[in-house]
C-alpha cells in the first residue's frame, strides 16, 4: 500500500476556519501532511480544529491577521518551531465587499486590497526563505473566476487579477529553487457563507447553476482536490499557471 502523497510535508492554509480553506486543510491532512490552519476568526477556527482532532498533533491552528507583517512572521516562526519545515502555502484568505462602481468606498478598496493582495504577498515573503533553503515548495494562490469580470465586484476582481500577475512573477523568481507557484480561480462554490446569502433553492442560485455548463455548483472539496494535486510531487513541473475551477463558467456566459 502506497503512502499518502503528502506524507511528511508541512502546509500552511490561510482562511482555513471555513469553506474552501477548511476543506483544503482536511484534504491535506488526509494526504499525510501536517497542517497549520490560519484565520483571523478565532472562534470559527477553534471549532474547525475540534472537527479535525482525529488528526492529532498534525493539525494545529493560529489566529493571525495576515495584513500585519509581524503576525505573519510569527506564524512562520511558530510553524518552523513546531514542525521544522514549510513545504506548502495555500493563500486562501480573502474578503469581498460587493458594490456597484458608484458605491465603492475608499475604505472598502483599501480593506480588500490589504487582505487579498498585501496579505498574500506578506505570506509568500515570509515563507520564501525557508522554501529557498529547502530548495522545494509549492505555493497556491486562490484567485477567482471574477478576475475575468463580474458586476459589483470592481475591487474584488481587481485584486484577484492582481494576484494572477503576482503569481506569474513569483513563479519566475522562485523557479530556480524548485518552488512552484500557481493561481486557481474558483467559480460558484457552495460554501457555508454562500448558502447563507443564496440558499440552494433560491431563484438566484437556480439562475447561477443554469449558467454553469456542468449544471451544478462547485463543492469546497472540488477546489481542495486541485490544491492538493498542485501541492504534490505529481505537479512538480507545473508553475506560473492559471487554472479555473468553475464548471466551465469561464468559457461560457460571464
- Residues classed as catalytic: 156
Nearest to 66 by CA among 110, 22, 124: 124
CA distance 226 to 249: 17
Q: Which parts of the chain are beta strand (E)?
A: 10-14, 34-39, 59-63, 88-91, 137-142, 179-186, 242-245
**Contacts (Cβ under 8 Å, ≥6 apart) of 58:** 29, 33, 34, 35
Output the nine-digit C-alpha cell for 26.
482536511
Where do runs of H (alpha helix) occur along 31-105?
Answer: 42-51, 69-83
Cell of residue 149, nine digits: 469580470
Q: Are 230 and 140 in contact (CB under 8 A)?
A: yes
Q: Give the other-Cβ count within 10 Å of 127's Cβ.
A: 24
Amino acid at each position: 500500500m502506497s503512502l499518502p502523497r503528502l506524507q511528511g510535508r508541512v502546509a500552511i492554509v490561510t482562511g482555513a476556519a471555513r469553506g474552501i480553506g477548511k476543506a483544503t486543510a482536511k484534504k491535506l491532512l488526509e494526504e499525510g501532511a501536517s497542517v497549520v490552519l490560519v484565520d483571523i476568526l478565532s472562534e470559527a477556527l477553534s471549532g474547525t480544529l475540534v472537527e479535525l482532532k482525529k488528526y492529532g498533533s498534525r493539525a494545529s491552528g493560529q489566529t493571525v491577521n495576515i495584513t500585519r507583517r509581524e503576525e505573519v512572521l510569527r506564524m512562520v516562526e511558530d510553524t518552523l518551531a513546531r514542525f521544522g519545515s514549510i513545504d506548502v502555502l495555500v493563500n486562501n484568505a480573502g474578503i469581498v465587499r460587493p458594490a456597484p462602481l458608484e458605491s465603492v468606498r475608499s475604505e472598502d478598496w483599501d480593506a480588500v486590497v490589504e487582505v487579498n493582495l498585501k496579505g498574500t504577498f506578506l505570506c509568500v515573503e515570509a515563507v520564501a526563505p525557508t522554501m529557498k533553503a529547502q530548495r522545494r515548495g509549492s505555493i497556491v494562490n486562490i484567485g477567482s473566476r471574477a478576475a475575468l469580470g463580474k458586476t459589483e465586484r470592481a475591487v474584488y476582481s481587481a485584486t484577484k487579477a492582481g494576484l494572477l500577475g503576482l503569481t506569474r512573477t513569483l513563479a519566475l523568481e522562485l523557479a530556480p529553487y524548485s518552488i512552484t507557484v500557481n493561481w486557481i480561480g474558483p467559480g460558484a462554490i457552495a460554501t457555508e457563507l454562500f448558502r447563507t446569502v443564496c440558499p440552494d433553492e433560491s431563484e438566484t442560485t437556480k439562475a447561477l447553476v443554469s449558467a454553469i455548463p456542468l449544471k451544478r455548483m462547485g463543492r469546497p472539496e472540488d477546489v481542495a482536490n486541485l490544491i492538493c494535486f498542485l501541492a504534490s510531487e505529481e505537479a512538480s513541473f507545473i508553475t506560473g499557471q492559471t487554472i479555473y475551477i468553475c464548471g466551465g463558467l469561464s468559457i461560457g456566459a460571464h
